[in-house]
Each structure stands twice: as structure tokens, then as C-alpha cells.
Structure 1
């Protein structure tokens, strides 16, 4: 009762605002009508493995058909464009970890099947220097918030980025894969919890899939039964970044 009263008081004093702008909305984690209309939600058809939006229905995109990633399936809520950037960039770069609670709600629809079969939610890790500069791992914040919404357990420290890499947006697919080789590891004390389990990797943006695939390979080597990926946004054209 006290918790409900406190929330009602906060709603009066600090009314909820749109995730992407300052317009008031009826509840946390919502978009106003204008921002919702601009949001480029991913709908079918898309690649059954990496989630890439497709112009025509097909089981797989060309890349996954020729060179499948290490993860089983990936899904994302939005195409990475102007609307997605207004949601993600402030959360990622302007010290707004509290935005995770609203953003995580956007993952519930596209991630429904992946969440249903997941044993653990695991965030894509940041290197310690980038973590110190930013103050938090945005993927970790999303994983915690999503775990709270779905009651799925979170292994927040399952993966570690043990070697810093150049910004991957500067690299092509081959160089991204080379840069990530040996950069991600499973923490030894989490190996037993991962063995035989279905892991759902959580990230903010899925670009080429190289980081997610590297994480998946590392998790498989540690004994994971399967690895899926869920992200806020999917880059539909690698050249965008």
C-alpha cells in the first residue's frame, strides 16, 4: 500500500514523459503519439537468424545463408535510424541509466519467443576503461530492467571484455571479427551456471552482429546450450554507422 501511494505521489509531482521527448504520457516507458508514429519498428519480413529487415520474405538473409553467426537467433525492436537514435544515444552517452526501465519495455514484443526460452539474461560487456568513463554498461542496465519486467534471472557479470578494441563502427565486417578475437571471455566463476543453459544476450544496438557472435562463441565454448540475442535497435544498412 505504501509503495502504491509513493508511486501515485511521484506521478503527480513528476508526471511521466515520452521516452524520446518531453511530451507527457500516461505512464512510464511510453512514446507520445508523434514519436510513436516516427518510430521505425521492425516487422516481418526479416532474417530468421540475425533479424535483419528484408525487402522480400525469405528464411535467411544472404549473409546468414553464406556465413551464419554463432548465435541461434537475434531480434530487435527498431531499425537504427533517427527515431532510435533519439531513444538510445541519450541513454548511452548522457548519463541516463534510469531510461533503461522504459526502454526495456520495447523489447517485450520482439523478444517474446526468445525470452520464453531463455534461462539467463546476459548483457554484452564493456571494457573496464569504457565502463569507467561512462559510469555504467547500458546493456547491463537493460538486462536488469528486462529481468525485473519478466522475472528472468540476470547474470550481470557472466562476460568480461578483457581486451579493449577500436570503435567497431570504423571497421568492416572482417576487421570487426579480427578485432574481437580473444577480446571477450566468460568469468570462471560463472561457467557452471552457463553450462547447458539457453542464454539471451542483451545489447542496445546490433550492427553487423560481430560482437554478438563473438560473445556467443565464447559462451558456447564455456558450455552454453544455445545463445540468442535481443537488442533495442538493428542496423539495417551497415553503411549507416
Structure 2
């Protein structure tokens, strides 16, 4: 009787399809889920592209990609490329050889270690800066930040942290955001570097720099920045990328650099999207 019950012939026949499902490896289900997720994301992206088609960040014409400029706007950019001064990033009209310095860098060395900028502050570049700064176009920051990483010439890759030039609390309250911080956040995210807006604080409510001469700008921002106690840990000897939107006379970033170096920073690279200047030297 017992042997009959346990006999293989008397057992319930197994369903091959059920057995296949029961023994399917978890990786199979996971791969299917990933494929469905990727498909849904692609469909969602295409739907967004239909409702909000990609347009040129400069002129608004239709383009092939988001966060890009059209060929016409691109051709109008005055990009700052080598050869240029190793310290001030001033473009040379001809190549004087590697490691060359401009007369300005030799006669009046800056407090920061080097300056790098994407392009000259005119035309499309000026429109992009004004769009971000005055028209709340924070959607421009991803493209501008990526260009800044390339313009850094390896400085971002070698840096220990990314620090934006801060706004005074009152101006930040009025503007609602800091354009330098938006750019710095993008740069830090893409480069995988620590984003440290806590390192610098603006304690002096300065007048707007627009319209001021070089000497007036320097006096306006004198003593405007400090490194608070909360920002000092881990700063000693570090390589810092100091981010701003535009470099004009250097008064603002120089004042910020002095505060950083007094607190122990070892190396400061100033990185801006635009640079105001007349032409190559």
C-alpha cells in the first residue's frame, strides 16, 4: 500500500510551462523590467520632444537637441581657445610657444592662479548670460556648465571642490537664485566633484558692478567675502574652482580668492562662462 502511494507512476504529472516559470532566474525578470523601463522613458522623452521641441538656446530656432545652439549662433561665438596666456587666459594673436604669459600677467600677477573662460562676452554669449542672470533662464545652465568644463582645460578634473561666487543674502532674496551657483552645481555634478556653496559668504552688500570702472569695482568689493568657520574644514591646501558668470576686471573674483587663500586654499582657478575684452593681444 505504502509502496504504491510513493510510486513514481502514481505521482501527479508536472506541467512543463509552470515548471519553466517557477524556475526562471531572477535576472530574466529583471532584464524584462529594465527593457520596459527604458521603453517607457524613451516614449516619455519623445512625447516631451513633441510638446516642447528642442530649440536653439540663442535664437529660438528648432534644433536637433535640447541644450544646444544652432549653426548660425555657433558661428557667431568668439570662443577662447589656445594659444592663450597660461595665467590670465588672454588669447594671443599668434602662438608664442607653450607656457607663455601675457604682459598683463607679468606686470600685475593676479591673486588667483589661473583664469579660464568659454568665450568673449558679446553677441550670443552676452544673450545667454543675460538670459540666465536677468530672465530666470536657469534651463541654460546645463549647456553653459558643460562648455565651462571643456574650457577649464583640465582644471576641473584636477580640482578638489567647486565653489560659486556668492551673492549677498539681500540680493539673493530679490533675485531668488544665484546664477554662479547654478553653473557651479552643473559643473560639480557632471565632473563628480564636491559642490561647496558653504565655503564662501558675502558679508558686504555691495553696489552693482555694472558701469563702475576698474578702481571703483575693486573698492566696491574690498572685504566683501569671508570663509565662515563652517566652511574651513578640509579647505587647507585644496585646489578650488571658483565659478562666476562673467569676468570683467577681476575685482570680484580677486576679492573672493583672497578670502579663500587666507583660509588656507592652496590653488584657485577662476572659471567663467564669458569674459569682457576688446580682442586678442
Same fold (TM over 0.5): yes
Aligned-partner Cα distance in 2 for 1:7–1:230: 32
Give the Å deviation of 1:56: 4.1
Structure 2: 5+ residue runs without aligned partners?
1-36
- Post-superposition shift, 1:97? 1.6
- Cross-structure match for 1:65: 106
Q: Which residue of 1 aligns with 2:254?
A: 213
Deviation at 1:197, TM superposition (A): 0.9
Provide the rounded CA distance (Å) in 1 between the counterparts of 2:149 and 2:231: 26
**Aligned with residue 172 of structure 2, among 126, 131, 139:** 131
Structure of greater Rg: 2
Q: TM-score scaled to structure 2, two decimals?
A: 0.79
**More relative contact order in 1 or in 2 (CA 8 Å, sep 6+)?**
1
Which runs of structure 2 are paired with 1:103-182 in the superposition (5 Å)? 103-182=144-223
1:69-92 Cα shifts (integer Å, max 9, x gaps): 111111111101122111110110
Is contact 1:120–1:199 with CA below 8 Å preserved after alignment? Answer: yes
Give the deviation of 1:57 after TM superposition: 4.1
Residue of structure 2 in register with 1:190 after alignment: 231
Provide the aligned length of Structure 1 versus Structure 2: 238
* Aligned partner of 1:199 among 229, 237, 240: 240
Contact 1:201 1:227 in 2 (8 A): yes
Q: Is the 8 A contact 2:198 2:230 kept in 1?
A: no
Match of residue 57 from structure 2: 19
The offset of 1:17, in angstroms, is: 1.5
Cα offset, 1:27, TM superposition: 1.9
Structure 1 distance, partners of 2:139, 2:198, is: 20
Q: Structure 1 unaligned runs (5+)?
A: none
Asked if the contact 2:227/2:263 (under 8 Å) is kept, the reply is yes
Please give the TM-score of this superposition, normalised by the length of structure 1: 0.91
Contact 1:19–1:103 (Cα < 8 Å) also in 2: no
Larger mean CA deviation between 58-67 and 183-192 belongs to 58-67
Please tell me whether residue 43 in structure 1 is matched to residue 84 in structure 2.
no
Q: Cα gap change, 1:227/1:236 in structure 2, threshold over 3 Å: closer, same or farther?
A: same
Moved over 4 A (4+): none
